[in-house]
Every structure is written in structure tokens, then in C-alpha cells.
Chain A
Amino acid sequence: MSDPINSVVILGGGTAGWITAGTLAARFNREQEEPVRVTLVESPNVPTIGVGEGTWPTMRSTLKKMGVRETEFIRECNVGFKQGAKFARWTTGADDEFYYHPLVQPEGFHNHNLATHWLGGNTSESFSNAVCPQEALCEHNRAPKQIGTPEYAAVANYAYHLDAGKFAGFLQRHCTENLDVRHILADVTGIEESETGDIAALRTEAHGKVSGDLFVDCSGFGSRLLGGHYKVPFRSCKDVLFIDSALAVQVPYEREDSPIATHTISTAQNAGWVWDIGLQSRRGVGHVFSSAHTSDSAAYGELARYLKVSEGELDRLGVRKIPIVPGHREKFWHRNCVAIGLSAGFLEPLEASALVLVEISANMLAEQFPASRAAMDVVARRFNETFLYRWDRIIDFLKLHYVLTKRTDSRFWIDNCDPATIPDSLQELLTLWRYQPPWHDDFDRAVEVFPAASYQYVLYGMGFETQPAVHGVSRASLEQAGQLFQQKCKATQQMLEGLETHRDLINKICRHGLQKI
């Protein structure tokens, strides 16, 4: 074998770096007699961003594959369960208006499209309530599982809310103690290239040269290797997604036993939206907005009003301002360097796409890991194709939340609906969906980030109109749909009876733990 890839060097010790390290090392240790060596280099002086507190359900398999105990993760990372997102005031801006994007798919979704029947049914029930139990679980603050449910198994599909700072530390301990990942704390002072133009080593002050065969850039917004060293250009998408600023704050609960919301609450504002995430001991709240459409001080005021506190009280909580440059690199893998995490790009916190991209990037890297340098360029080309597709789909999906608004009360919402800001690919889907509801075949399922169900929840949650089936609906299909709607009602009732409150389950897990089986 020529030029085997024997060692991977990861630059950056935030969540992206440690998720990548854990995913790679767990796979190498499981499958290889002489596992590829994984080293993570972290500067002791670069603070991690530490925002990004929502995940997708994929995080369950990501952690399980790494050999993490869910009980320990929940105890140590201030974790709450997330059963989707509640979008308030996105459609009309009215105070009491909301819709859900739950994580449970519509009943029978693998082979039956209930959207057709809901559209034809003239029901006043919300789409998500009609087709799945999860909106009811969220509104009643129920946990998505029982204390007797094994780790990572669900009664209702779930993801997590977590403390990103604690999460990075937790993964670091797991990777270094259980997965044999080498951890080097040192400032990188330079990058050494080989004759071929590949990166040969990172020069560090404290540890000399750290050489490797493949380098993963998890250095955050700085994009030290891919952007800084290789100058791979950045592709902005600010013309589509306007959010470019965030004000983030940690808010204590009123009481120690206050309910913990079991979904992300996203509330639309004048020129952006507020995220509200419930952890065990505090909430993480932030206002993201377009600086072209509002000022910092107006955004600050809106955040204070959302939290029902005075601006003075908000000052005391300590608000951090984080700039956002929405977009991504033109490619993610160049020569022997692949970027994962913020170094590859970032859009905005909507729909928690940041961590899921890290997970699926690390996963693809682990699964298609090049055995030799000669194979690397082929894998790199595939990786780039797949992830360019994925970024485009995520951009479309995020933009979808803005273009369906009926709000005309501010330039932000009006400008978002300007056709010039809507990608052609999204425009095409919107045309299609005027005549037929989203279905699996609309997407390449193998590489899709968001399933067709997600598009349905957003479209019909925001009152998008798809014309009823032109050729009508057969009797058999109607009967089957009737059964599915009934199944959903029964499941909802059983879950409401059998599931305890989110806080109660979290307390039990902290006290007793979940079993592995």
C-alpha cells in the first residue's frame, strides 16, 4: 500500500473538534487492528464560541457510537430534551400565533402522505396537531421518554438542548480517557507544507511540530487552515439570509423547580427572531437580527421586552454580542485538509443546523475515510459535492421560514419575500408545492439533512396553500388516512397519560440514571 493515512490532526477544541475526534477515534478503534492515530491540537488562549445549544435527533446516534453514556451526558452537560421548535409570530405577527415543527414524523409517513388529507379536510386543527402527537406533548410539557426507557431510545423522537461549553469539556474527557485521542494544548505558530502542497505539520510553541497525514480544520470562524492557509474563498449568502448579529444571554429560572420547556421557542421580532432554550439550571436566550434592518440598541430593547425585564436588568445578566457572517467556504476539503464546523461556514441558529452539519461531516469523514493519499482526492471530491448540496438545501430550508410570512410590518419581513432574495432551487420547490404537497421523492433522500416532513411542518404551519388533489382521493386512501388519524389520537392519549413532566424525568435521571437497555 502506498502512502497510508496513519494519523489525523484536528485543530480546534470546541464542540466541532471533539465531535470529530470522538467519531473518528470510535470508528477506528472498533474496526482497525492498528487504529489511525487521532490528535487534537487546541490553543489554550482561544475561547470557544460556546453558543449552539440545540441539536438534531442525530446527536443520539452520534453520542452512542462514541460510546458515551446518555445518563452521564445529561448529568454533566446541563441537558434538556428537545422535541422540536415552536415558532411564534412568524406568520402574521399576532401575539397568540404559533406553529410547531416537531421531530416526530406524521403518522404513517413512510408510505402515506397525510398532508393530502389534511389539506382536503377543512379542519381547523393545526397541521402538526392533526398528524402527530408531539405538539400536544410540548404544550403539556411532557418528557419524550420514561425513566424505564433505555438510553437513547425514545417514546417520542427527541434531540437535546445542551450547554455547549460543558459539552466540549465532557467530550474532551471522554475522547482522551476512553478513546485514546491525544490532546495537545499549544498555540499554533505556523503551518508546514510538503513539496506537494499538502500540510505536513502544525508548528507549535510548546510542542514543536505536530505532523499528520490528514488535517481537520475545526478552528472556528477563523478557519485557520482552509481559509487562512489555503485561501479557499468564502461564499456569502447574506443576500438570501439577512441575519448577521446575535445578542446572547443566560437567564436563571424563577425557581429551582420551574418547568423546563421541551422545545426550542423561536419568537419572531421586528428584524429577526429570539431563541429561547431550556437547560436544567438556566435558559439560553438570544436575539438574532439583521443589522441592515435594525440597530443594536433597538434589538437590545426587543430582547429586554421579550424577557420582560428592564434594560438595566438585562445589563446585569451580561449580554454577549456575536457577529454572524452567513455563508460557507466554496469547498470544504482541499488537498489533505477538511474543514468541519464554523471553519466550513455558518448560516444562523434557526433550526439548529450547525451541530448537525458537524455530525454528518464527521460521520462521512469516518465512513469514507481515505485509506491512502492516492484515494484522498476522490473522497474529497465526493465530500465537497455532498456538502455543497447539503449547504444549499439548508439555505433553502431556512429561507423557507422567512418567505412564507404574511408580515408586512417591517422592511425585514418585506425584503425577505423579495423574489430576488429567493434561490431558484427554493422557488422551484415552492412552485411544485402549490400543486402537490412535499413528498420523499422531492429530495435525494440519501444525503438529505431535513426530511420532507420538515418541509410539510413549516409550509402548513405557516398557512401555505397547496391545491387539493385534482383527481380526488380514492375511498381506500381515505379509509387508510382515517385509520392513521385515529392511531395518532390514540397514541397522543397514551403518551399524555404515560409520560411525566420534563423536569420530573430530568430529576429522576440525575438521581437514578437510565439503563443501557
Chain B
Amino acid sequence: MSNTVALNNESHRNLKVMTKRGAAFGELTHLVPVVANELRNLVLEYPVCITKDPKNGQFSLCALLGFEPGENLFLHGDNWDAQYVPMHIRRQPFMVGYRNPEAGPGEDKGAVITLDMDSPRVNRDGSSADGMRLFDDEGSNTPFMNEVSDLLGQLMGGMESTTAFLKFLADNDLIEPAHINVQFASGEQKRYEGLYTVNDEKLQQLEADKLVYMHQHGYLQAAYWLSASMGQVRKLIQRKNQL
């Protein structure tokens, strides 16, 4: 499926990457992983839920783009109808890999930027008219590559702080199942299982020292954003009804 290699300015000197949006790039998905440090932007447009990774049962954050697998109500052709597109979508086909993934805290994991060579976004020989080059002829980063590098930096930092944030919520019983019952204009009713959100009631009752801790780590704001974003489900229903 994927063919991930470490990026280097020799073998990838001429390679181009397509930056358009579209179904062809695997963007027809109803859930997209997001990180806590983009919540500020996300919650203005998307419901953001907590989900469980079926592979390891751990909590993660996801923006809801549709109501069933393969449904992205924000994507119309090559237009993504929102002011803000989640970083996980924008980073494709890049990711960060580690040369030494088992390194302990404080040790260097040897992070490198990787690239999925089989992604439809990749034009290996740079022959396509579209797309962005990563390196110039001398092998220096293009401005686009610098943007990618920044984005990945934000994403990796965000993933770490998201894990810590969700662990804090779970340890303090602040996560509860989100009961989402929706009725579409067609009359169709649906109930969604497996989505979680912040337990507002328990958050209100939290002891003062924990609230201070949450505030100092930015968790309090993030928790309220998450909770408020559930209101975006109504707008998502409207999008569905307008189809």
C-alpha cells in the first residue's frame, strides 16, 4: 500500500508533489486525526471528537467530516469547503520516521522526514506540469519544502501534547461517550457509537489544583473547545441535507 522512504536531496532532487485537494488523493474519509494545537482553528468548522484506535485502544482526536465511511462533506471536487484544513490532510504524502524509535526519553530518536513514494501526489521525475519541487537544482530546500518541514514539526509536537492531554482527561475520568443521534431531511435516523467527548459535568466539579494544572498546560481551553465543537454536528447535518 505505502512505500515509505527517507527524504534526501539527491534521489528526490527533481521530484514534485501535488498539493491539490481531491478524492484521488484519498481524502474521501469521514474521520481525520487531528492534534490539540490546531483545535482553535478546527472547532470553528468541524465537530472534534475523541475516538479509540481499534489497534491499541488508546484515545486520539478526530475531526468528523461526514457520517459514514467514505463520506467527506467538506470536499467538493478539488475544493475543500472550509477556512482551515487539518494538518494531517495537508502533510500528505510526508511523515516523520525515526531511525531509533525505541530511544528513551531524552535520547535522540533520529527523526527524519519520510515520503510515501506510492502516493498519487508524488511525481517522481518531476515531469508533471503541476506540483511543487522540494529542492532546487543545487539541492537546497524550496520555500515549499520549508513549509512542509514546519508543518511536520507542528504536527509531531502536537501529537505528543495531544497524547498527554488525552491521558490527563482519561486519568481524571473527564471523557464520556458522545451520544450523537441525528435525523436527516430524508427522515433517516442514525446513532453513532464509538465517539467520546469531554464530560462537562465532571469538569465543573474538578478540584481547584487540577483546574490550575489544566489551565497552565492549556488543557482547560482545549477541553472547552472540544466540548463546544459538538455543536458543529448540526452544521454537518445541514451539509448532508444539502447534498
Chain A residues at the B interface, C-beta cutoff of 8 Å: 146-149, 508, 511-517
Contact = CB atoms under 8 A, between A and B. Distances in A.
B61 to A, nearest CB: 15
A139 B137 CA distance: 63
Contacts of A513: 57
Contacts of B175: 515, 517
Interface in B194-230: 194, 196
B196 A146 contact: no
Interface stretch (B10-18, B48-56, B101-109, B235-243): B48-56
A512 B58 contact: yes
Chain A interface helix/strand/loop/mixed: loop
Given A148-B52, A516-B173, A517-B176, A508 B57 contact: yes
Interface in B64-82: none
B177 interface: yes
A147 B52 CA distance: 9
B181 to A, nearest CB: 19
A514 B55 CA distance: 12
What 7 pairs across the A-B complex have the smallest Cβ distances? Answer: A147-B57, A512-B56, A148-B52, A148-B57, A148-B54, A512-B58, A512-B57
A147 B55 contact: yes
Nearest to B58: A512
A147 B176 contact: no
Given A148-B57, A515-B58, 15 more contacts: A146-B54, A146-B57, A148-B52, A148-B54, A149-B57, A508-B56, A508-B57, A512-B57, A512-B58, A514-B57, A515-B52, A515-B59, A517-B173, A517-B176, A517-B177
Interface of B: 52-59, 170, 173, 175-177, 194, 196
6 contacts: A146-B54, A146-B57, A147-B54, A147-B56, A515-B175, A517-B176
B154 to A, nearest CB: 25
Looking at B55, B56, B176, which has the most chain A CB atoms within 10 Å of its CB? B56
A517 B58 CA distance: 11
B195 to A, nearest CB: 12
Nearest to B52: A148
A508 B55 CA distance: 9
Nearest to B53: A148
Contacts of B177: 517
B124 to A, nearest CB: 37
A92 B28 CA distance: 60
Contacts of A148: 52-54, 57, 194
A148 B57 CA distance: 4
A149 B52 CA distance: 9
A341 B55 CA distance: 40
Contacts of B55: 147
Contacts of B59: 515
Contacts of B194: 148
A517 B56 contact: no
A515 B54 contact: no
Contacts of A515: 52, 57-59, 170, 175
A511 B196 CA distance: 22
Nearest to A147: B57
A515 B170 CA distance: 8
A517 B196 contact: yes
A149 B54 CA distance: 9
A50 to B, nearest CB: 32
Contacts of A149: 57
A517 B176 CA distance: 7
Contacts of A516: 170, 173
Contacts of B57: 146-149, 508, 512-515
A508 B56 CA distance: 7
Nearest to A498: B54
B196 to A, nearest CB: 7
B166 to A, nearest CB: 10
A146 B194 CA distance: 13
Contacts of B196: 517
Contacts of A512: 56-58
A457 B58 CA distance: 37
Contacts of B170: 515-516
Contacts of A517: 173, 175-177, 196
